[in-house]
Copies of this chain bind each other. A is one copy, B any other.
Amino acid sequence: MANIRDVAKEAGVSVATVSRYLNKKGYVGQKSAAKIEQAIQKLNYKPSLVARSLSTKQTHYIGLIVPDITNPFFPELARAVEDIALTYGYTVVLCNSDGNPEKELHYIDTLQQKYIAGFIITTSSLDAHHYENLTIPIVALDRKIEGPLPTVSSQNKEGAKVGTNHLIERGCKNVICLRGPKGVGPADERLAGFIEAVQDTSIQTEIIECSFQFDVAERIVKKALLGNPKIDGIFASSDVSAAGALKAAHALDLHVPNDLQIIGFDNVSLSEMTTPGLTTIAQDIYKMGAVAARMLIKTIENLPLEEKKVQIPVELIQRGTTRSEKI
């Protein structure tokens, strides 16, 4: 494979001139530029991006830190980030943090040494000041991080209110809120929306903390339903937990939606695969990923951001786990 020296020799200029030409830094005469371009074509020279990254400190790698790519929300997000990155000539490094602050720090540390161009973070395991001390661009996604970081999130609170009202309008009197893990931004916001919707009503409620895991939700809901046969509605903070709740209802021979109505959150592809399909508050996951990727790349390339805190609208999608008509 031809290297920069071969190009310089072929073009009859110095290596430094070729380097200035490739990195678009410093003066290169028109004639020299033309000769270099010809040499590049003739030798089929492909500039080493690693070598260039040393002078420009630009690798065009961006890091995507997710808690766990096997949680169905994150592949859809990763897909969007990768699609946009590809369009702009960036490639995506995938990191599973498991919500472990040490693991997240390890990634940020190691990848900075590889001159990663920026990060999209979807975890809130580190304190805000960790991010603020970093000198490279970061966009926070689906996790509220206080402070000046650019952030993309969904209308979590508003969505939870809409979802809870949907249950109330369809006759639910005893509703469980399967809130997600405490301290996780979207889970806290959805809980706040649920609480706002039920206050000043006569609805009986129980709030249960439940991780975004299918089997955990299934177990918790089974126990709750056995403990209180009056429960007739479940607001779940994710589709995965809603699917677990649905499975628990089936195991107890409860008819969904006649005996029990369930609403999820996210609209991951799983939500149409269950029978009945899950009524859910749909996030535009692809758009969230795409907007975050564009914001990050703009920041990397020193372009101005129109907005630093973007909220993506949500919408209710009705399938079979809630009654078709209000009562």
Q: How far is the CA of A48 from the CA of B214 in the complex (A)?
A: 42
The reply to whether B275 and A273 form a contact with Cβ atoms under 8 Å apart is no
A284 to chain B: closest CB distance in Å? 15
A149 within 8 A of B: no
Binds B, one of A108-116, A161-169, A193-201: A108-116
Chain B residues closer than 8 Å to A273, beta-carbon distance = 214, 243-244, 247, 270, 273-274
Which residues, 58 to 79 on A, are CB-close (under 8 Å) to B? 59-61, 64, 68-70, 72, 74-76, 78-79
Asked whether any CB of chain B lies closer than 8 Å to the CB of A82, the reply is yes
CA distance A255 to B230 in the complex (A): 29
Chain A window 81-105, contacts with chain B (Cβ cutoff 8 Å), 1 for yes, 0 for no:
0110000010111111000000000
* A272 within 8 Å of B (CB atoms): yes
Flag if B95 contacts A82 (CB, 8 Å). Answer: yes
For A95, A272, A275, the residue with the greatest tally of chain B CB atoms inside 10 Å of its CB is: A275
A50 CA to B75 CA in the complex, in Å? 28
Contacts of A215 in B (CB 8 A): 272
A255 to chain B, nearest CB (A): 12
Q: Is A308 an interface residue (CB 8 A)?
A: no
Determine the interface band of chain A, counting residues with CB < 8 A from chain B: 35 or more
A94 lies within 8 A of B93 (CB): yes
B69 and A72 contact, CB distance less than 8 A: no
Does any Cβ of B come within 8 Å of A53's Cβ? yes
Task: Decide: B275 and A115 in contact? CB cutoff 8 A.
Answer: no
Q: Is A46 an interface residue (CB 8 A)?
A: yes
| A54: chain B residues within 8 A (beta carbon) | 48, 50-51, 54
Inter-subunit contact A115/B75 (CB<8 Å): no
Contact B96 A79 (CB under 8 A): yes
Query: Which of B60, B96, B250 contacts A83 (CB under 8 A)?
Result: B96
Judged by a CB distance under 8 angstroms, whether A269 is at the interface is yes
Cα distance A89–B111 when bound, in Å? 11
Q: Beyond A93-B92, A272-B214, A273-B270, is A75–B69 a contact (Cβ under 8 Å)?
A: yes
A222 to B75, CA, bound (A): 28
- Per-residue B-contact encoding for A103-134, CB less than 8 Å = 1, 0 else: 00001011101110000000000000000000
Q: Which of A131-187 contact B (CB under 8 A)?
A: none
Residues of B with C-beta under 8 A to A82: 69, 94-96
Query: 29 A-B contacts, Cβ less than 8 Å apart?
Result: A46-B109, A46-B113, A47-B113, A48-B54, A48-B115, A49-B113, A50-B54, A50-B114, A50-B115, A51-B54, A53-B114, A54-B54, A61-B61, A61-B93, A61-B114, A69-B69, A69-B82, A70-B75, A70-B79, A91-B93, A91-B95, A91-B107, A91-B114, A244-B273, A246-B275, A250-B275, A270-B270, A273-B274, A275-B275
